[in-house]
Structure 1
C-alpha cells in the first residue's frame, strides 16, 4: 500500500504492532469489517443496521404497515416488544449499546405486533434469532441485556500487519486563505499528518457450517463468496481524500479446509528485507509457510491462488481473475455442504 493512514490511533497516527521485534503497520479487524459492511450495502447484499435506535426502526416500520398508528402509539408498542425480548430502553427509546438487527427481523417483528394483541416472549425472541442479514451472520451479535439473543459470528478477521518493518513519516502541510491579500505572506493553516507505506498481510477465516446454521445452506454458499469479494476489494476510508491509496491485492490465496483454519502470519515473524520491493518476497515466504503447515494439518480440499501477473507463484492451482476464483470456491463449497447435509 502506498503512503496512507487508513486506520488511526487516539493520537491520529497510523496504528502499529510490534511483531518479530520490529514495528509493523497495522489495520484493525474492526476497521476492515466496517469497510466490508459498507461494501455489502453498495453491492446490494442484505445488510443489517447497527444502532442504538433499533426501537425507532421498528416504530417506523409499524407506522408504514398500519397508517392508524401515530408515532407515540408505535413507540408504545415497540417498548412492549423490547420488554418482551428483555432488552432495556432508556428514556429516549434507545438501547444502552449498539444493536445489530436485520431488515427481515424488523419486518417480521412489526408484522407480528400487528397480527397479535398479546406478545409471546418466546415468539419475539424467535423472530430476533431468524432472518439474519449476511453481516449479522458473519460477524455475530452480542446482547448484554439478554444473551439468548446473541448470534455466534461465523467469520474471524485478523488485524492486518505489514510483512516488513515500517518507519513513520510525517507530511508537513500548509493552506492558504483564498481571500488573503496577494501581498500577505504566510499560511492561514499548517500542520502535520503521520503516515507510512507498507505491504500488508491480511487474513480472515469463515466457518461455512456456522454460516449455514445462521443463514441456511444455499444462502451460506452465496454469502461465502460475497464475504471473499468484500474482503478483497474493500478498504477502510481513513484519510482517503488525502492519500488516494485505494489499491487492489497483488496476491490472494483461498483454502477450504476440513479441519482447522490456519493463519500464515508466522511466515513474516522474521520481517521481509528488500531494496527491490516487498511483494514477491512476501509471496515466496507465504507459500513456503503454507507448504510447511501441511506437516501439521490435513491437506485442504481446495487451494486456489489469484496473483497479479507481475508476480510469480509456485502454486499449481491458479486462476486468471476473481470471477474464476469465486466459481471454484462455489463449486467446492457446494460439494462440502451437500456432503455435510447427507451425513446429517
Structure 2
C-alpha cells in the first residue's frame, strides 16, 4: 500500500507577476472556459527546495557549471589555470561510460543536480590523478582538432560522486539520461497554481524621473509598460510518503523531518519574481492537508466553474466555500476508508467547513498532525511488508 500526503491551499495574491511567459506577461491557462492566471510548479518548487535545504543544512545545486566550479576549486589550491580548466572538463568527460557533453566556457550540455559538497570531492579526485591529467593535457594539445577527448579520471568514481543525493534530491527527484543510475524518482509532485476565478493580466504604465534634469527641462528619464495580475490561487502538491521513505533508505526520522519541512515551506513560500516592485508577500487563507492511501487527490475541479465575487466583493470567502462544498461531495464518493487523516486551518475562526476534517489553530499544528499521521501509517505499512 502506498501513502500520500496531499497539500491544498487557497492564497490571495495582490498585484504581482510571480511567473512570466516569454513575453513578460503573467502566465495564463484556460480552464472551465474561463481565462485564469497561472503560476508554474517549477517557479514555486524552487523557493520550497531552497527552504528545505536551508532547514536541513545540506544544499544541492541544479547547474551546468560543475566543470567551472571544479576549476575554481583547483585554482584556489594553487593549480595553473590551464591545468585546472582541463581537469574540470575531465570531470564531465570521465562521467560514466560515455561521459557528459561539454559546451562553450566549460558548461556541461545538460543540467546536473547534485550536492554542493560534490565539487570539493571532485576536486579531490583531480588532485589524486594530477600527474595523469598533466600527461593527458599535453597529449590533447598535440591531438588533431575535433578529436574526442579520452577519459583520464576513473569513470566509476566520478559517477558515484554525481549520483550522491541530498534530502531535496530524494524529495524532488533527478533525471540524467547520460547517467541512468543517477536518476531518482522524486517523491513530491506540485501542480501549477491557478486562480479560482476568471482573471486577466493588467498593464501598468510607469515612468522613472531623472533626478538631474534641469529646472527648465521636462519629461521622464524612462517610461515603459509592465504587466501584472491579482487573484486567489488554488495550490496543490502531494508527497508519496512511501517513496520518500524508500529514497531515504527507510530512515523514519529523516523522512519525518523532510516531510515537515516540505509541508511548511509549501505553505509559507512564494516565488520571488518582481518582489521589489510588487512585494506580494501574502500567506494562504486556508490550508487543507489529507493523508490518503493508494492514490493522491487534487481538488482543482472545485474551481472548474469559476468562482464569482460575493456581494461585498472579493473572491477569498467564496473560494473557501467552493472548496468545502466540493470536498464534502468528493468525500461522499470516496468515503473515509482510505483517508487516515484530514484537517485544516482557516483565516476566519468563525468559519466551520464541513468537509475539511479537524480544525487546527495554525499551519504548524496542522502540519505536525498530518506528518505524524502520514509517517506512522507509512512506517506501519513498510513494517507489515517486511514481516
For Structure 1 versus Structure 2, the TM-score category normalised by the shorter chain is 0.7 to 0.9
1:219 and 2:254 aligned: yes
Distance (whole Å) between structure 1 residues aligned to residue 263 and residue 339 of structure 2: 17
Distance (whole Å) between structure 2 residues aligned to residue 8 and residue 97 of structure 1: 23
1:300 and 2:313 aligned: no
Aligned partner (choices 71, 95, 106) of residue 93 of structure 1: 106
Q: How many residues align?
A: 341
Structure 1 6/142 Cα, relative in aligned 2: closer, same or farther at 3 Å?
same
Structure 1 43/69 Cα, relative in aligned 2: closer, same or farther at 3 Å?
same
- The answer to whether the 8 Å contact 1:104/1:133 transfers is no
- The answer to whether the 8 Å contact 2:342/2:357 transfers is no
Describe how 1:1-344 pairs up with structure 2 within 5 A.
1-43=13-55, 45-59=57-71, 67=77, 73=83, 76-82=86-92, 83-85=94-96, 86-90=98-102, 92-106=105-119, 108-109=121-122, 121-130=155-164, 132-216=165-249, 217=251, 218-275=253-310, 276-294=313-331, 295-296=333-334, 298-309=337-348, 312-314=351-353, 315-343=356-384, 344=386
- The answer to whether the 8 Å contact 1:137/1:153 transfers is yes
Distance (whole Å) between structure 2 residues aligned to residue 27 and residue 9 of structure 1: 10
- The answer to whether the 8 Å contact 2:72/2:84 transfers is yes
So what's the TM-score if we normalise by structure 1?
0.88
- The answer to whether the 8 Å contact 1:23/1:165 transfers is yes
- The answer to whether the 8 Å contact 1:17/1:23 transfers is yes
Distance (whole Å) between structure 2 residues aligned to residue 106 and residue 244 of structure 1: 35
RMSD: 2.7
Residue 282 of structure 1 and its aligned partner are, at CA, apart by: 1.2
User: Which residue of the partner structure matches residue 3 of structure 2?
Assistant: none
Structure 1 144/188 Cα, relative in aligned 2: closer, same or farther at 3 Å?
same
Distance (whole Å) between structure 2 residues aligned to residue 204 and residue 22 of structure 1: 23
Distance (whole Å) between structure 1 residues aligned to residue 176 and residue 220 of structure 2: 50
User: Which residue of the partner structure matches residue 147 of structure 2?
Assistant: none
Structure 1 10/68 Cα, relative in aligned 2: closer, same or farther at 3 Å?
closer
So what's the TM-score if we normalise by structure 2?
0.79
- The answer to whether the 8 Å contact 2:52/2:258 transfers is no
Distance (whole Å) between structure 2 residues aligned to residue 168 and residue 92 of structure 1: 39
Distance (whole Å) between structure 1 residues aligned to residue 218 and residue 158 of structure 2: 67
Structure 1 188/60 Cα, relative in aligned 2: closer, same or farther at 3 Å?
closer
Question: Which of structures 1 and 2 has the larger relative contact order (alpha carbons within 8 angstroms, sep 6+)?
Answer: 2
Q: Which has more radius of gyration?
A: 2
Residue 106 of structure 1 and its aligned partner are, at CA, apart by: 4.2
Unaligned 5+ runs, structure 2? 1-12, 133-151
Residue 223 of structure 1 and its aligned partner are, at CA, apart by: 0.8
Question: Which range moves more in the overlay, 240-249 or 106-115?
Answer: 106-115
| Structure with the bigger percentage of strand | 2
